Amino acid sequence: MDLHDYKDVAENYDLYLDVMYKDVDNHSGFQDFYLDFAKEYGKDGVIDIACGTGAVLLYLADHGIMADGTDLSEAMCQVADKKAKAKGYNLNIFPANMTEFRSDRKYSCAIIARSGFMHLLTPELQREALLNIRENLVDGGMLTFNTFDPNPIFQAEQMNTKDTDYSLRLEYINKQGNREKIYNAITYDPYTQIMSGNWKFETLDENGAVIEERVRPLKMRQTYRQEMEYLLELTGYKIVNVYGGYQKESSEGSAKNVIWCVRKR
């Protein structure tokens, strides 16, 4: 299981993300980026893949675009569906792997927001996902997804750490109203290009004593641009744009986010 498959993580996901991105938001403007993308390319339907708890899916709905949503985590889908119904939306949200999901329709626009694509841990899985998404797109349909440029300095640091070398990431108030501290630890394998780690959640009482501890695993794969370009060519996509951020910044040089916008050939 992965971090996002756990019910306790899904239920608290929005709460701790609000704190995580309060001061430094590497995803600033991402909802408007995907809204513009859906408006431009979604006339024949939009699907939000790896929709999580619905940050993009519900933002689209709030602006009149009723997209479908899917995520590998059933717990995340349940949270997203509950939030949608609370807003009065009856959206098609279903748990499925992006390598094999099927819908009763084809879409002109597919979105994999933020780091969703990076949870595919091998080139084979990436290929399967891209081919499967292509099958679910109309001819000329568009897909956008993210990678990021691997940083050799960070890679070197993470190659010398263990998945138990925890550092404090943040503190927040969880769904039950308790203070909770989140620690994470990341290590990097240059042969597989996989970042592996654990997130540790410590629930505190009113005196600051730890009353519960949970450890949840997380893995993500780093992909170089040359790999991605070749993989897109092999799976039948044409690159339309590559951005370095959600304000459509240039992707030249090293970019924290690399946002791919590609068309089904």
DSSP state for residue 115 in the 8-state scheme: T
Do residues 84 and 56 lie in contact, with contact meaning Cβ atoms separated by under 8 Å?
no
Which residues in 113-193 belong to E strands, given as ranges? 137-147, 167-173, 179-189
pLDDT band at 24 (very low <50, low <70, confident <90, very high): low
3 state DSSP class of 260? strand
Q: What pLDDT is recorded for position 3?
A: 87
Percent of the chain residues past pLDDT 70, beyond the cut: 97
**Percentage of residues in the chain having pLDDT higher than 90:** 88
**Tokens 């070398």, residue located:** 165
Q: Please say whether the beta carbons of 67 and 91 come within 8 A.
A: yes
- The answer to whether the predicted template modeling score (pTM) of the entire model surpasses 0.85 is yes
What are the chain's domains? 27-150+224-264 (3.40.50.150), 152-221 (2.20.25)
pLDDT > 70? residue 23 = no
Q: Would you state the pLDDT for residue 79?
A: 97
pLDDT higher than threshold 90 for residue 29: no
Q: What is the pLDDT of residue 25?
A: 61
| Residue 26 binned pLDDT confidence (cut-offs 50, 70, 90) | low
Whether the pLDDT of residue 253 is over 90: the answer is: no
> What's the pLDDT at 123?
96
Query: What are the backbone dihedrals phi and psi of residue 3, each rounded to the nearest 5 degrees, phi first?
Result: -40, -50
- Both tokens of 237, joined, read 């996509």
Per-residue model confidence as pLDDT tens digits over 204-220: 999 999 999 999 999 99
pLDDT mean over 38-43? 98
In this prediction, residues 63-71 reach a mean pLDDT of: 98
pLDDT of 255 > 70? The answer is: no
Residue 209 tokens read as 């004593």
Round to whole Å and give the CA distance between 223 and 232.
Answer: 12
**Per-residue pLDDT averaged across 60-87, rounded?**
97
As a whole number of angstroms, the distance between CA 149 and CA 88 comes to 39
Checking if the pLDDT of 68 tops 90, the result is yes
Does 89 have pLDDT greater than 70?
yes
Buried b (16+ CB within 10 A) or exposed e, 67-99: bbbbbbbebbbbbbbebbeeeebebebbebbbb
Greater confidence, 28 or 226?
A: 226
> What is the Cα–Cα distance from 101 to 128, expressed in whole angstroms?
11
In the chain, the N- to C-terminal Cα span, in Å, equals: 35
Asked if residues 203 and 177 have their Cβ atoms less than 8 Å apart, the reply is no
Consecutive H or E run containing 225:
helix 225-234
Q: Residue 28: what pLDDT?
A: 75
Check whether 254 has a pLDDT greater than 80.
no
Query: Residues 116-173: pLDDT tens digits?
Result: 999 999 999 999 999 999 999 999 999 999 998 899 999 999 999 998 999 999 999 9
Cα separation, 67 vs 45, in Å, equals 7
Q: What mean pLDDT is reported for the chain?
A: 94
Predicted local distance difference test score (pLDDT) of residue 4: 87
